[in-house]
Amino acid sequence: MVGHFLYEGLKLANGSPFTGDIRNGLSNGEAGAHVNALVFEGKIMSGFTGQKEKLAERRAVDYAKTGVINFIYTSVQYDVTFKTQTPSNPNSVTVDKISKTKPIRAPQYPPGP
């Protein structure tokens, strides 16, 4: 997460859009800071797991019901449950629980339901 955050921030500071045109590849500068950072995050995770993690993907399709966002890599998936934001600080998000599971499918971009 820290790697994603720093890499994305660096790209944004250099003028990249948050998301962009992915037709020339996800690592291409045109793809945007967030997409580049998803690829970078996969490389960091490869070092962590010792396996080739092709990409990181967020899956938030159930978030409204469950409060869970899936962080999907090739060999591992983390299901992160977020606490409801506090009215006094609506921009804060607190992690409530993290569960490590097997990926439901390979990470993909653009993501599908």
Partner 1 sequence: MKLQVLRIAVISFALLTLLTSSGTAGLRKDGQWLIFEGTVVKVGKAPPAVCGVLAPYRLAKYHVDRVYEGSYSQSEIVVDHLFCKMDVLEDFKVGDKVIVVIDLQKRPAEIWNDEEVRRKDDKIKRFYVAKSVSRATSCCDF
Task: Give the footprint of partner 1 on this chain (CB under 8 A).
Answer: 1, 4-5, 8, 18-19, 21, 23, 32, 34-35, 58-65, 69, 82, 84-85, 91, 93, 109-113
Task: Name the residue nearer to partner 1 (CB basis): 50 or 93.
Answer: 93
Answer left, alpha or beta for residue 91, where phi above 0 means left and psi between -120 and 50 means alpha: alpha
CB 3 within 8 A of CB 40: yes
Tokens 């996969």 sit at which residue? 42
Query: From CA 54, how far away is CA 38, in angstroms rounded?
Result: 10
Handedness of CA 21, 24, 29, 33 (dihedral sign): positive
CB of 97 to partner 1, least distance (A): 15
Looking at the Cβ atoms of 93 and 98, the one nearer to partner 1 is: 93
Would you say 50 or 100 has its CB closer to partner 1?
Answer: 100
Q: State in angstroms the smallest separation of the CB of 56 from partner 1.
A: 10
Nearer to partner 1, 50 or 111 (CB): 111
The distance of closest approach from Cβ of residue 34 to partner 1 in the complex, given in angstroms and rounded to an integer, is: 5
Is 34 in contact with 8 (CB distance < 8 Å)? yes
